[in-house]
Chain A
Amino acid sequence: MSRTSAASIAWSHVGGADCIRLSGLDPKTLTAGADVQVRPGPAAAAAGEFPAMAGRLVRDGNDVCFVPRFPFVEGTSYAIAIAGRTAAVLTFPRRERPATTQVLAVYPTAAEVPCNLLRFYIWFSAPMSQGYAAGHVRLVDAAGHPMTGALLPTDSELWSADRRRLTVLLDPARIKRGLTAQRALDTGGVGYPLRRGETFWVVVDDGFRDAAGRPLRGAADRGYAVGADERRRVDPGAWTICAPPGRTREPLEVRFDRPLDHGLLARCLHVTGPGGRPVPGLRAPGPGERSWQLTPRQSWAPGAYRLVIDPVLEDLAGNSVSRVFDRDLARPEDEPGPPEPVALTFRLSV
Chain B
Amino acid sequence: MSEYGLRPGSAQLQMAGPITFGPAGILFLADNGLARVFAVDVADPGPAAGPEPFDLTDVDLRIGSYLGCEAGQVDIRDMAVHPESHNVYLSVQRGRGDAGQSVLMRISVPDGAVTDVPLDGVLVAEAAIGDAPAEDDERQDVTIPSGEQGEEVTFGGRTIRILRRPIRTSTVTDMVYLDGDPGVLLVAGLSNEEFSSRLRRIPFPFGDDVTASSLEIFHVSHGKWETAAPIRTFVPYDGGASILASYTCTPVVHFPLASLVPGAKVVGRTVAELGAMNQPLDMVSFTDQGEEYLLVANTSHGLIKIACRDIDDQEPLTTPREPVGVPRQTKDLQGITRLANLNGSYVLALQVDGDGRRHLRSLKAASL
Contacts and interface: CB of A to CB of B under 8 A. Distances in A.
Contact of B224 (A164, A174, A189, A330): A330
Interface of B: 15, 17, 32-33, 35, 58, 61-62, 64-71, 73, 75, 77, 93-101, 103, 113-116, 134, 136-138, 140-149, 162-163, 165-169, 171-173, 190-196, 216, 218, 220-229, 248-251, 265, 273, 275-279, 281, 299, 320-322, 324
Interface string A63-96: 0000011111100101000000000000000000
28 contacts: A51-B65, A54-B68, A70-B69, A76-B68, A118-B195, A123-B149, A129-B100, A130-B96, A153-B279, A156-B172, A158-B191, A160-B169, A161-B169, A165-B192, A171-B249, A173-B249, A174-B276, A176-B249, A180-B275, A188-B276, A210-B97, A212-B98, A261-B193, A263-B192, A280-B141, A283-B144, A285-B146, A339-B216
B136 A50 contact: no
B68 A73 contact: yes
B17 to A, nearest CB: 7
A76 B71 CA distance: 11
Interface in A23-46: 38-43, 46
Nearest to A158: B192
Given A162-B167, A282-B143, A314-B194, A329 B249 contact: no
Contacts of A213: 96-99
A155 B18 CA distance: 11
A95 to B, nearest CB: 11
Contacts of B67: 53-54, 70
Given A104-B149, A178-B224, A181-B277, A50 B97 contact: no
* B194, B250, B265: most-surrounded residue (chain A CB, <10 A): B194
Contacts of A336: 218, 265
Interface of A: 38-43, 46, 50-55, 68-73, 76, 78, 104-105, 109, 118-119, 123, 125, 127-132, 149, 152-156, 158-162, 164-165, 167, 169, 171-174, 176-181, 183, 188-190, 209-213, 261, 263-264, 266-267, 270, 272, 278, 280-287, 308, 310, 312, 314, 318, 320, 323, 325-330, 336, 339
A326 B140 contact: no
Contacts of A131: 75, 96
A24 B181 CA distance: 63
B66 A54 contact: yes
Given A156-B173, A318-B195, A178 B221 contact: yes
Given A156-B172, A189-B276, A339-B216, 19 more contacts: A40-B65, A50-B58, A71-B99, A73-B70, A130-B100, A152-B248, A153-B299, A156-B171, A159-B169, A172-B195, A173-B249, A176-B221, A176-B249, A178-B224, A183-B320, A267-B137, A325-B227, A327-B227, A328-B224
Contacts of A119: 195
A336 B266 CA distance: 12
Contacts of A174: 276
A327 B23 CA distance: 40
B149 A68 contact: no
Contacts of B141: 280-281, 283
Contact of B194 (A78, A177, A211, A264): A264
B173 to A, nearest CB: 7
B142 to A, nearest CB: 7
Given A172-B195, A329-B220, A180 B322 contact: yes
A128 B149 CA distance: 14
A146 to B, nearest CB: 14
B225 A76 contact: no
Contacts of A41: 70
Contacts of B171: 156, 158
Contact of A160 (B71, B95, B101, B167): B167
B169 to A, nearest CB: 6
A40 B69 contact: yes
A180 to B, nearest CB: 5
Contacts of B193: 167, 261, 263-264, 312
Given A178-B225, A308-B136, A267 B98 contact: no
A312 B196 contact: yes
B269 to A, nearest CB: 14
Contact of B68 (A53, A149, A152): A53
Query: Majority SS of interface residues in chain A?
Result: loop
B193 to A, nearest CB: 4
Contacts of B58: 50
Q: Which 10 A-B pairs have the closest CB atoms?
A: A129-B97, A105-B147, A43-B65, A181-B276, A160-B167, A173-B249, A158-B192, A123-B149, A50-B65, A211-B97
B270 to A, nearest CB: 10
B148 A267 contact: no
A326 B226 contact: yes
A173 B280 CA distance: 12
B148 A125 contact: yes
A328 B114 CA distance: 52
A71 B97 CA distance: 13
A303 to B, nearest CB: 18
Nearest to A55: B68
A307 to B, nearest CB: 13
Given A181-B249, A210-B97, A212-B97, A51 B169 contact: no
Contacts of A69: 68, 116
A183 B100 CA distance: 41
Contacts of B138: 270, 278, 280
A266 B299 contact: no
Which of B65, B138, B250, B322 has the most chain A CB atoms inside 10 A of its CB?
A: B65
B221 A179 contact: yes
In this complex, the member of B113, B149, B166, B273 whose beta carbon has the largest number of chain A beta carbons within 10 angstroms is B149
A329 B278 CA distance: 26
Given A50-B62, A54-B66, A173 B322 contact: no
A155 B15 CA distance: 13
B65 A180 contact: no
A190 B68 contact: no
A190 B276 contact: yes
